[in-house]
Amino acid sequence: NAGVMQNPRHLVRRRGQEARLRCSPMKGHSHVYWYRQLPEEGLKFMVYLQKENIIDESGMPKERFSAEFPKEGPSILRIQQVVRGDSAAYFCASSPGSEQYFGPGTRLTVT
Amino acid sequence: AQKITQTQPGMFVQEKEAVTLDCTYDTSDPSYGLFWYKQPSSGEMIFLIYQGSYDQQNATEGRYSLNFQKARKSANLVISASQLGDSAMYFCAMREGPGAGTASKLTFGTGTRLQVTL
């Protein structure tokens, strides 16, 4: 059973471009969480999704950020018009219910 | 108020010694879960140990044990017989809400950087 997959592992974008981060949960897991980790900080919750539904987006910035978890395919975290402050590690976690298993993260660098 | 507090930004321990990493939490929910994760320099988040609020005994996983003191709202991680490979950041996290089977976001502390020396 493969673990949580995230791609790309590293992503470089210029200011104003779009960033798309992908997360494939573990087989059988229907819950997906996205977290952001700024340098030298802990992880901060962004959004929690189940298949085709956003359950809790209380940690998502109001603008430029969106997330989806379609019926088929990976969960996508989309950041439009990136700014330098978006540079961070973005982690996805999947869960069958209670425990959360983290992917390796995507390190986004905005130049 | 911080929900998860880790007061030790950095700790040093000698190889083969035991070390305790502190974590206090704040919640009014009677049902919650406490987690510890290890983040080595490579960046991935590795689950170490879990303690449920209704668990009667302290959780243990190999060299890791969780010193759960409910009245004091503390959930300290104890690593016995430290190894060089234990050098990493350690994060305490809490899930609030009903017990096992309920999905809910995790709130993380700011972490403790552990350095194991020879």
Could you tell me the maximum CA-CA distance found in chain B, to the nearest angstrom?
43
Chain B residues close to A91, C-beta within 8 Å: 45
Count Cα neighbours of A91 within 13 Å in the Cβ-side half-sphere: 23
Low-confidence residues of chain A: pLDDT under 50? none
Q: Which percentage of chain B shows pLDDT scores above 90?
A: 81
Q: Is the pLDDT of residue B100 over 60?
A: no
Q: Do A104 and B43 touch (CB under 8 A)?
A: yes
pLDDT digits (tens, 9 = 90+) for B6-20: 999 999 999 999 999
Beta A75-79 vs A53-56: how paired, if at all? Answer: unpaired
Q: What b/e readout covers B75-112, taking b as 16+ CB neighbours within 10 angstroms? A: bbbbbeebeeebbbbbbbbbbbeeeeeebbbbbbbbbb
Candidate from B45, B50, B110 with C-beta closest to A99? B50
Predicted pLDDT of residue A6 = 96
Beta A10-13 vs A106-110: how paired, if at all? Answer: parallel
Closest residue in chain A to residue B44, using alpha carbons only: A104
pLDDT digits (tens, 9 = 90+) for B45-87: 999 999 999 998 999 999 999 999 999 999 999 999 999 999 9
Residue contacts between A and B (CB atoms, under 8 Å)? 62
Alpha carbon of A12: minimum distance to chain B alpha carbons (Å): 17
Contact B96, B108 (CB under 8 A): no
Candidate from B99, B105, B107 with C-beta closest to A56? B105
Closest residue in chain A to residue B92, using alpha carbons only: A42
In eight-state DSSP terms, residue A98 is S
